[in-house]
Amino acid sequence: MRRWTRRELGGLTGAALLAVTSFRLARGQARPRVIVVGGGVGGATVARYVAMTGNNIEVVLIEPKTRYTTCFFSNLYLAGLRSLESLSHGYEALAGRHGITVIHEAAVSIDPAAKAVGLATGTRLHYERLVLSPGIAFKFDAIEGYDKAASEVLPHAWTAGPQSELLRRQLESMEDGGVFAIVIPPDPIRCPPAPYERASLVAAYFKQHKPKARVLILDAKDTFKQQDLFEEAWQRYYPGMIEWLPAQFTGGVKSIDVKGRAIRTAGDTFKAAVINVIPAHMAGDLARQTGLADKTGWCPIDPATFESTMQKDIHLVGDAIASGDMPKSAFSANSQAKACAFAIAAALTGAPRGPPHLFNTCFTFLAPEDAYSNAIVYRPQADKLKALHTFVNQVNEGPEIRQRVAREARDWYRAFTADVFGSSG
């Protein structure tokens, strides 16, 4: 059994220290340790499933925040249809019910040779296997005038929490007749339908509270998935309210004037009362800074085990990976996390492991009681995650079908977050 040094224990505070010391004193012999960095959807799921699957494995989860607010359903919050509190989840069940040691700190370094992770306070923790699910970082140099400081004025709201609250306040205080502009980056982005869902749900809010307001979408793409479903819904629910301008029309967004509330494209300049700029993405900082990402900015993995192809005994899941056909979504992160947990448990305990079955289902709201779903099965093929079967709702379906999908989406949220965090609260 590896002993904790005074320096390591000194780096842990309060509840984290109590949890680690009592956990260590309770056990008699060494167990392999899996460290998971990032307590979002991917990381929390890996931690929970390794703890459930390999009962002889010690699991440590490192996440700076004490509560996690989901991006999924945050567009419903922006439209005033859900509270932010209802989207926030704690780590108590992972620690209490699953015996996971949760340390609320940021990981700042990885030493693959020594198999150790460094925390912000100087603590160094050793692992048998390390899993990273750090999510995304933003390319703040992609559009002139839009850096991190600008995002505190013109929010991206592409991470949920204070950014979502800022955008909601701006939408609430916007005058009727104003324009709300959304700037959409090139792919790959987390949750590809979410910008268009945001446009739809904000339009639903305007329809009720500011009927003369408009939504303007400036897209870096020329087409988008399920465009027919969105365009039909925009025509049906919000005629004349939503304008979508593809890159071939504008020539692309070139710069943002934060003070003047203006967006300059290759052709025209657009003024808007509220501007939501979603910057282009790359893998989360820790993954890139520790050499786990390639030149694309994403982390290549073995699709059967989610082990990094760049570093042995380090696995990655979620938005940070180069995920082939799989979209960057919470559902994907959760499905990848389970496959990764089973692969780690098999490697460390000799438990049997079959080929992974991976799924993604995106529920997308077109209106408060109209949602569609898009379900796809994936398999590892060669070195990629390949899509096999697809189901998606169709245009011109009856309202009862879409209302049912909207109900299923709300049920999915409850069941899904319980699966990730081990409890429904």
Beta carbon of residue 413, minimum distance to ligand FAD (angstroms, whole number): 8
CB-closest chain residue to ligand FAD: 40
CB 363 within 8 A of CB 402: no
Beta carbon of residue 177, minimum distance to ligand FAD (angstroms, whole number): 26
Is the CB of 71 or the CB of 348 nearer to ligand FAD?
Answer: 71
Is the CB of 264 or the CB of 420 nearer to ligand FAD?
Answer: 420
Beta carbon of residue 150, minimum distance to ligand FAD (angstroms, whole number): 18
List of residues contacting ligand FAD (CB under 6 A): 37-43, 62-65, 68, 71-72, 74-75, 106-107, 133-135, 158, 190-191, 194, 284, 286, 318-320, 328-331, 333, 362-363
Beta carbon of residue 345, minimum distance to ligand FAD (angstroms, whole number): 19
CA 117 to each of CA 4, 44, 234, 419: distance values in angstroms, whole numbers, following the listed order = 14, 18, 49, 27
What is the side-by-side strand order in the sheet with 262-265? 253-257, 262-265, 269-271
Beta carbon of residue 295, minimum distance to ligand FAD (angstroms, whole number): 21
Is the CB of 39 or the CB of 155 nearer to ligand FAD?
Answer: 39
Is the CB of 264 or the CB of 314 nearer to ligand FAD?
Answer: 314
Is the CB of 244 or the CB of 331 nearer to ligand FAD?
Answer: 331
Beta carbon of residue 26, minimum distance to ligand FAD (angstroms, whole number): 25
Beta carbon of residue 290, minimum distance to ligand FAD (angstroms, whole number): 10
Is the CB of 214 or the CB of 281 nearer to ligand FAD?
Answer: 281
CA count, 13 A, side-chain hemisphere, 419: 15
Beta carbon of residue 337, minimum distance to ligand FAD (angstroms, whole number): 8
Is the CB of 42 or the CB of 279 nearer to ligand FAD?
Answer: 42
Beta carbon of residue 333, minimum distance to ligand FAD (angstroms, whole number): 4
Is the CB of 284 or the CB of 380 nearer to ligand FAD?
Answer: 284
Is the CB of 134 or the CB of 380 nearer to ligand FAD?
Answer: 134
